Amino acid sequence: MKKQDFPLILAPMAGVTDVGFRAVCSSFGADATVTEMLSVRAMAYNPKKTEFMTLTTPEEKFKIAQIFGHEEEYFKRAVTNEMLSKFDSFDINMGCPAPKIIKNGEGAALMDKPSLASKIIESVKSATNKPVSVKFRKGNKQENFLDFGRMCQDAGADFVTFHARTVEQGYSGKADYEAIATLKAKLSIPVIGNGDVTDEKSLAEMKKTGVDGVMIGRGALGRPWLFSELKNLPQKMTHFEAIERHISLLREHFEEGWLKLYIRKHLLWYAKDLPLASAVRQKIAMCEDIDDALAILKAFFV
């Protein structure tokens, strides 16, 4: 990633950061975007499913593929897979708190196995000359983020992203900005802060930790224009045009039957801050047709 004053990055979110959403966030100023989690094992055995998750657009400025698993050899194979050749960087997920991921010894479960985690980072670094980062939490069974961060640095990670919550917290409670500041002070590689940045006030609080950039996830749900607002940039399209762009990009690649079920959650997020939001969301939830749902939204956005 090119040196920026303070880059804003769209976080990886399973079932959310599809190719259309990443493109729209990029158009509104996101400096980098991250794919949904890509299983390194699935990449070897079910490449078609992974291929849809690796679609990209010219709007994306710096494209990061986030990979997860627990086997060194599959990580090495993944980053050398032609499917990921278009990405500018690789991020290793060592922070996902989902029970099924933890059960498989992946995501944040790797925080309890620093030796294995180190070998995975080293294997990825040995297989690519592109930047490699690691995303992790405060801890799984115990808070060990400082030692884990040092391990990532020693293993060769070019930067880390720190979501300052424990696995037990999930996405509840407040992110621990003091922990972020502590980690930043102890590492020499860049630290990206993640957690609770939803407006200018929370961004200012995050900046006080000294981090080198911020990753934004849930704050952007239904608000891809948040990046423009935080950077005080002119918006290249209206909010409704952004919604239309999101859907049109997905329609280029996915069948309508699947898309009308998938896109509903995004449409509900887009409606969450509208006047009479509850009534609008109820109407959208009952729509069987994407264009009918768009017509409902248009009346409020235009």
Cα distances (Å, whole numbers) of residue 49 to 75, 104, 158, 247: 17, 20, 29, 20
* pLDDT confidence of residue 292: 95
State pLDDT tens for residues 207-230. Answer: 999 999 999 999 999 999 999 999
The amino acid at residue 135 is: K
* pLDDT confidence of residue 275: 83
Q: Return the percentage of the chain with pLDDT > 70, whole number.
A: 98
* pLDDT confidence of residue 180: 98
* pLDDT confidence of residue 274: 87
Tokens of 9: 């990055």
Q: Which residues contact 67 (CB under 8 A, 6 or more apart)?
A: 37, 38, 39, 40, 43, 75, 78, 79, 90, 91, 92, 93, 124
> Is the pLDDT score of 2 beyond 70?
no
* pLDDT confidence of residue 191: 98
> Is the pLDDT score of 5 beyond 80?
no
Over residues 112-119, mean pLDDT: 98
* pLDDT confidence of residue 45: 87
Q: How confident is the model at residue 231 (pLDDT cuts 50, 70, 90)?
A: very high
The rounded distance, in Å, linking the Cα atoms of 70 and 124 is 12
State pLDDT tens for residues 146-175. Answer: 999 999 999 999 999 999 999 999 888 899
Enzyme catalytic residues: 96
Q: Which residues contact 128 (CB under 8 A, 6 or more apart)?
A: 79, 80, 90
State pLDDT tens for residues 267-287. Answer: 999 999 888 889 999 999 999
The rounded distance, in Å, linking the Cα atoms of 73 and 302 is 52
Q: How confident is the model at residue 117 (pLDDT cuts 50, 70, 90)?
A: very high
Mean per-residue pLDDT over the chain, rounded:
95
* pLDDT confidence of residue 100: 96
Over residues 74-92, mean pLDDT: 96
* pLDDT confidence of residue 276: 83
The rounded distance, in Å, linking the Cα atoms of 273 and 270 is 7
Torsion angle, alpha carbons of 74, 75, 80, 81, to 10: 60
State pLDDT tens for residues 172-210. Answer: 889 999 999 999 999 999 999 999 999 999 999 999 999
Structural domains of the chain, with CATH: 8-221 (3.20.20.70), 255-301 (no CATH)
As beta bridge partners, residue 10 has 33, 216
